[in-house]
C-alpha cells in the first residue's frame, strides 16, 4: 500500500472536528449545570461530607421550588429511608407514583423504592403486594430477592421454597443451601407436633437438594428416635462425619445417649475419641469427658483432658482440666484449686461463643441462621477461642 501526500491534509481536519465536538459537549454540560438549582449542589456537597440531615433540608427546598424533579424525589426518599424515617420516604415515593406524567421507567423505579420503604418499615403485606407487581419488570430479580426475605421473616417456608426456586430458574444464582434449610424448618415444625413420618419426608427432600446439609442429617436422626428406631437414628447422626467432621460436635451428645440406650456405651466413647483426634472441639470434649468419668473413672478422664490440652492448648480446655483435677484432689488443696477454677471459668465463658463468619455476631448457642444478618450456615461449629487457635 503506497503512502499518499494528501493523507497528511486529513490530520488537521480530524483535530478540528474533535475540537468542535469537545466544545459542543462542554457548552452542553455548562448549560445543564447552570439550569440546576444551587441547592442541588449544596445537597450533593452535604452528602459527600456525610451530612445527610443538611442534605435532606437542601433537597426539600429544591422539591418545593420544582416539584417536577423526579430524580431529587428519589434521592430524598432514599435519604429518609436510610435515616429510618420510613413514613416520609413512603410519602415521597407515593407522591411520585401519583403523577400521571411520570415516564413508565420512573414509575417502575418509584414502585421498587416504595416496596423497599414498606420492607424497612416492617409493612410486609404491602411490601409483598408491591414487589409482586414488579416480577415482570426490569426489577424482577430484586423483587424476587425481596419476596424471599419477606417469606423468611414471616416464616412462610413453603412460599420461601417457591421463591428461592423461582430465583434459581431466573438465573439469579444457586439457592440449594437456603432451600434445604427451608425444608428443615418445615421438618422441625412437624417434629414439634410429633409427626416424625412427615418430618422424614421433608428431610429427604432437603438432602436431595443439598446432600451436605448437616442439619437435615441431624433432624433425620431425631425423627427416627421419635419412632423408636435408635439404630437408624445412630446411622443418621453418624452421617454427619461424612458431611463435615467439625460438625460432629453438634451430635456428640445424641450419639453418646444413643449408644447408652442400645447398651454399647464403650462403642460410643471410642467413636467420639476418634472424632476428637480428627477434629479438636471443646463441645465434643465436654461430652466425652462426662462419658469417660461415668464408664472409666476420674483418672481416665483427667488423663484424656490433659492429653487434649497438650495437643490443643486453650483456656476452655484448661477449665475442663481443672474440673477433672478438682474431682481427684486432696481436701486441703481443693479450696485454692477451686478458686483458680472459678477465675479461669469466668474468662473461658467469654470465649465460649459461636461467631458468624459473615457479620461477626456472637452467640452462646449454635444457630443455623444468624440472628444478626439472617444468613444461613455462617456459624462454624467451633467456639471463638478454638477458631483463634486454629488461625
State the cell numbers at 327.
474431682
Cα(133)–Cα(111) distance, rounded to whole angstroms?
9
- Is 373 known to sit in a ligand binding site? yes
- The answer to whether 120 touches 81, Cβ cutoff 8 Å, is yes
Element (H, E) at 354: strand 354-355
The sign of the torsion formed by the CA atoms of 63, 67, 69, 71 equals positive
- Is 359 known to sit in a ligand binding site? yes
- The answer to whether 94 touches 114, Cβ cutoff 8 Å, is yes
Cα(297)–Cα(64) distance, rounded to whole angstroms?
81
Using the structure block, give the residue that is written with the C-alpha cell 417536577: 68
State the cell numbers at 328.
481427684
Q: Reduce the DSSP state of residue 290 to 3 states and report it.
A: helix
- The answer to whether 195 touches 188, Cβ cutoff 8 Å, is no
- Is 184 known to sit in a ligand binding site? no
State the cell numbers at 81.
429511608
Using the structure block, give the residue that is written with the C-alpha cell 408491591: 130
- The answer to whether 137 touches 108, Cβ cutoff 8 Å, is yes
The sign of the torsion formed by the CA atoms of 361, 364, 368, 372 equals negative
- The answer to whether 168 touches 146, Cβ cutoff 8 Å, is no
- The answer to whether 292 touches 304, Cβ cutoff 8 Å, is yes
State the cell numbers at 155.
416464616
Bridge pairing between strands 362-363 and 354-355: antiparallel
Q: Specify binding-site residues.
A: 356, 359, 370, 373
Binding residues for Fe cation: 356, 359, 370, 373
Amino acid at each position: 500500500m503506497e503512502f499518499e501526500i494528501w493523507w497528511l491534509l486529513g490530520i488537521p481536519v480530524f483535530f478540528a472536528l474533535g475540537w468542535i465536538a469537545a466544545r459542543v459537549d462542554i457548552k452542553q454540560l455548562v448549560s445543564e449545570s447552570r439550569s440546576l438549582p444551587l441547592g442541588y449542589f449544596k445537597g450533593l456537597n452535604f452528602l459527600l461530607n456525610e451530612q445527610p440531615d443538611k442534605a435532606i433540608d437542601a433537597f426539600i427546598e429544591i422539591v418545593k421550588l420544582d416539584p417536577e424533579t423526579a430524580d431529587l424525589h428519589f434521592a430524598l426518599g432514599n435519604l429518609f429511608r436510610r435515616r429510618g424515617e420510613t413514613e416520609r420516604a413512603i410519602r415521597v415515593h407515593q407522591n411520585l407514583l401519583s403523577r400521571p406524567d411520570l415516564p413508565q421507567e420512573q414509575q417502575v423505579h418509584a414502585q421498587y423504592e416504595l416496596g423497599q420503604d414498606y420492607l424497612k418499615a416492617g409493612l410486609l403485606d404491602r411490601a409483598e403486594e408491591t414487589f409482586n407487581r414488579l416480577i415482570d419488570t426490569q426489577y424482577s430479580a430484586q423483587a424476587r430477592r425481596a419476596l424471599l426475605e419477606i417469606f423468611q421473616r414471616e416464616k412462610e417456608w413453603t412460599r420461601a421454597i417457591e421463591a428461592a426456586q423461582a430465583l434459581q430458574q431466573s438465573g439469579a444464582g444457586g439457592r440449594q443451601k437456603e432451600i434445604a434449610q427451608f425444608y428443615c424448618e418445615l421438618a422441625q415444625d412437624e417434629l414439634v407436633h410429633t409427626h416424625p413420618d412427615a418430618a422424614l419426608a421433608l428431610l429427604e427432600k432437603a438432602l436431595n437438594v443439598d446432600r451436605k446439609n448437616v442439619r437435615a442429617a441431624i433432624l433425620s436422626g431425631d425423627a427416627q428416635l421419635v419412632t423408636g428406631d435408635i439404630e437408624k437414628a445412630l446411622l443418621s447422626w453418624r452421617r454427619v462425619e461424612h458431611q463435615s467432621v467439625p460438625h460432629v460436635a453438634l451430635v456428640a451428645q445424641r450419639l453418646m445417649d444413643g449408644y447408652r440406650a442400645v447398651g454399647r456405651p464403650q462403642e460410643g466413647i471410642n467413636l467420639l475419641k476418634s472424632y476428637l483426634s480428627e477434629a479438636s472441639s471443646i463441645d465434643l470434649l465436654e461430652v466425652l469427658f462426662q462419658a469417660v468419668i461415668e464408664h472409666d473413672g476420674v483418672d481416665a478422664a483427667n488423663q484424656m483432658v490433659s492429653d487434649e490440652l497438650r495437643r490443643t492448648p486453650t483456656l476452655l480446655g484448661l477449665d475442663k482440666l481443672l474440673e477433672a483435677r478438682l474431682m481427684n484432689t486432696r481436701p486441703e488443696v481443693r479450696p485454692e484449686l477451686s478458686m483458680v477454677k472459678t477465675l479461669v471459668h469466668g474468662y473461658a465463658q467469654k470465649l465460649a461463643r459461636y461467631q458468624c463468619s459473615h457479620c461477626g455476631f456472637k452467640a452462646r448457642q449454635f444457630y443455623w441462621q444468624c440472628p444478626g444478618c439472617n444468613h444461613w450456615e455462617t456459624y462454624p461449629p467451633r467456639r471463638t477461642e478454638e477458631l483463634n487457635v486454629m488461625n
